[in-house]
C-alpha cells in the first residue's frame, strides 16, 4: 500500500494560490474546472460541467475560459486582436491561458481536434510552452506539461491525465517544452504506466538525478518494465539509488534485495549489475529470501535499518517479519511504508490494518505489536487505519484489543 507519499512533508495537497477576488461566473468556472490537487477535485469538475450546461456561451470574451474549453475559434479571434493575451496571466489562479487548457478536467470527452486546434492557436500566438506556476511558492514548477500528464499522490481517479494528454504533451514538446520536467516525472512515478517516459525520452529526457530517482522507485516496487526501459536509455544498472526521503544510498541491486524483491535483483544482475552486498545488506536480504543470517552482523543490520518490520509488514512478507523480530528488530518501530526509509511515520501494524491483512495483523500482535500506538502523521491507531480503508471488521477487532 502506498499512503500518500510525501503528503505531509513533501507536497501538501492544496490547491494553487488564488489571485484576487473570485468575481463572476467565468472565474468560478475556471476555479472549478481545473486539476488543483485537492481532495474535492472530481466534485469541482462535475460542478464546472453543471455551470457550463446552464451557460453554454460562458467566456465568449475570456481567453482563459476559451483555453480551458478548447474553443479555438474564440481563441484565434481574441488573439488576432491582441496576441499578448497568449501569455496574459488572469483568472482565479493568475495563470496564462495555456495552463487553464492543460489543467482543465471538466470535459472527459474533449476531442483531439478541439485540443489540437486550441493549443496550436495559443502556441502560434507565442504562448510559452514552459509556462508554469509555483504551488504555494514551492518548487519545482507545475508546468503545462505537468498539467497535461496529470497524476500524482492521490491516484488516477483523483488526478487523471488530460483526456488528450499525449497529443497535448507532444504539441508542447514540439514547441520547445523541457522534457526534463521534474514535477511531471514525480507525479507519474507511482503507476507502472511508462508511456510518459517513452515520450519524454523521444524529446531528450536525460536528467541523471531524476532518472536515478525513477530507478530507485522502480527497484523498490518491483517495476521491471520501467527498469528495463531506463537501462535501455542509458541508466546504468549499477546506479546508486536512494538519498531522498531518508532512504539510504546503496546500489540498485542491493536496494532490490533489501526491499524484498529478489526477482528484481536477478533482473538487474542480468542487465549487468554487480552483486556486491555489505554484511548488513546481506542480513536484510536473507530475511526476505530465507537465506542464512550471519549472526555477527545482525546488530549492525538492525542499527542500519531499524524500520524494517514496517516495510516488510506492508509487503505482506510474514516470514521476514517473524525472523526480523526474532533477531532483534523492534516490532513497534515506526517507518515509512511507501519507500524503504526509516523516517518514523507508522508501524507495521498500521500498514497491515490499512491493507486489511488479517493474517499479518495477527502475527504482529502475537509478536508484541501494540494496537494502541498512533502513527506520526495522522495520530491514528491501527484500528482507525483499518476503518479508514474500509476494513470494518478488522477495525472492530483491533479496537477490542
pLDDT digits (tens, 9 = 90+) for 277-295: 999 999 999 999 999 999 9
For the chain, the residue count is 401
pLDDT of residue 74 exceeding 80, the answer is: yes
Mean pLDDT check: name the lowest of 18-32, 169-183, 310-324.
18-32
Compute the C-alpha angle 93/151/195, nearest 5°: 130
Percent of the chain with pLDDT over 70: 94
**CA 197, CA 180: separation in Å to the nearest integer?**
10
pLDDT class for 39, splitting at 50, 70, 90?
confident
pLDDT of residue 21 exceeding 60, the answer is: no
Mean pLDDT check: name the lowest of 14-23, 62-71, 106-115, 377-386.
14-23
**CA 94, CA 366: separation in Å to the nearest integer?**
56
Output 2 or 317, whichever has higher pLDDT.
Answer: 317
Q: What is the mean pLDDT of residues 250-267?
A: 98
- Mean pLDDT computed over every residue of the chain: 93
Q: Where are the domains of the chain?
A: 1-127+140-178, 202-277, 279-400
pLDDT class for 155, splitting at 50, 70, 90?
confident
State the CB neighbour count (10 A cutoff) for residue 166: 16
Q: Helix, strand, or coil here: 41?
A: helix
Exposure string over 297-307, b if 16+ CB within 10 A, otherwise e: bbeebbebbbb
Q: What is the pLDDT of residue 23?
A: 57
Q: What is the pLDDT of residue 11?
A: 34
Q: Give the residue carrying C-alpha cell 500518500.
A: 4
pLDDT of residue 359 exceeding 60, the answer is: yes
pLDDT class for 8, splitting at 50, 70, 90?
very low
**CA 240, CA 100: separation in Å to the nearest integer?**
39
Compute the C-alpha angle 151/153/154, nearest 5°: 80
Classify domain 202-277 at the CATH superfamily level. Answer: Ankyrin repeat-containing domain (1.25.40.20)
Q: Which set of grid coordinates corresponds to residue 76?
A: 484565434
pLDDT of residue 7 exceeding 60, the answer is: no
Q: Does domain 1-127+140-178 have CATH number 1.25.40?
A: yes
Q: What is the mean pLDDT of residues 234-251?
A: 96
Q: What is the pLDDT of residue 135?
A: 83
pLDDT class for 12, splitting at 50, 70, 90?
very low
The fold adopted by the segment(s) 279-400 is: 1.25.40
Amino acid at each position: 500500500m502506498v499512503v500518500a507519499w510525501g503528503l505531509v512533508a513533501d507536497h501538501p495537497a492544496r490547491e494553487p494560490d488564488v489571485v484576487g477576488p473570485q468575481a463572476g461566473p467565468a472565474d468560478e468556472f475556471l476555479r472549478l474546472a481545473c486539476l488543483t490537487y485537492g481532495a474535492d477535485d472530481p466534485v469541482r469538475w462535475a460542478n464546472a460541467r453543471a455551470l457550463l450546461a446552464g451557460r453554454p456561451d460562458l467566456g465568449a470574451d475570456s481567453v482563459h475560459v476559451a483555453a480551458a474549453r478548447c474553443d479555438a475559434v474564440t481563441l484565434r479571434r481574441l488573439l488576432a486582436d491582441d496576441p499578448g493575451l497568449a501569455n496574459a496571466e488572469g483568472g482565479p489562479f493568475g495563470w496564462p491561458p495555456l495552463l487553464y487548457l492543460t489543467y482543465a478536467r471538466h470535459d472527459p470527452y474533449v476531442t483531439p481536434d478541439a485540443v489540437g486546434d486550441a493549443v496550436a492557436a495559443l502556441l502560434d500566438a507565442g504562448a510559452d510552452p514552459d509556462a508554469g506556476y509555483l504551488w504555494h511558492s514551492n518548487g519545482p514548477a507545475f508546468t503545462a506539461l505537468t498539467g497535461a500528464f496529470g497524476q500524482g499522490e492521490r491516484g488516477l481517479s483523483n488526478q487523471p491525465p488530460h483526456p488528450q494528454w499525449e497529443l497535448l504533451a507532444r504539441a508542447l514538446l514540439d514547441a520547445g517544452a523541457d522534457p526534463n520536467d521534474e514535477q511531471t516525472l514525480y507525479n507519474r512515478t507511482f503507476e507502472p504506466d511508462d508511456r510518459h517516459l517513452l515520450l519524454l525520452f523521444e524529446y531528450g529526457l536525460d536528467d541523471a538525478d531524476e532518472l536515478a530517482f525513477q530507478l530507485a522507485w522502480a527497484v523498490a516496487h518491483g517495476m521491471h518494465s520501467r527498469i528495463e526501459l531506463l537501462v535501455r536509455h542509458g541508466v546504468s544498472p549499477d546506479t546508486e539509488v536512494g538519498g531522498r526521503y531518508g532512504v539510504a544510498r546503496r546500489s540498485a541491486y542491493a536496494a532490490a534485495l533489501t526491499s524484498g524483491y529478489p526477482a528484481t535483483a536477478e533482473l538487474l544482475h542480468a542487465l549487468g549489475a554487480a552483486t556486491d552486498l555489505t554484511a548488513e545488506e546481506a542480513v536484510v536480504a536473507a530475511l526476505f529470501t530465507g537465506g542464512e543470517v550471519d549472526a555477527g552482523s545482525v546488530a549492525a543490520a538492525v542499527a542500519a535499518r531499524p524500520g524494517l518490520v514496517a516495510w516488510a509488514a506492508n509487503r505482506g512478507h510474514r516470514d521476514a517479519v517473524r525472523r526480523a523480530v526474532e533477531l532483534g528488530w523492534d516490532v513497534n518501530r515506526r517507518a515509512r511504508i511507501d519507500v524503504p526509509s526509516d523516517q518514523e511515520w507508522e508501524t507495521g501494524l498500521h500498514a497491515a490494518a490499512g491493507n486489511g491483512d488479517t493474517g499479518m495483523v495477527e502475527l504482529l500482535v502475537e509478536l508484541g505489536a501494540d494496537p494502541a500506538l498512533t502513527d506520526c502523521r495522522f495520530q491514528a491507531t491501527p484500528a482507525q487505519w483499518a476503518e479508514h480503508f474500509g476494513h470494518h471488521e478488522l477495525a472492530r477487532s483491533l479496537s477490542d484489543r
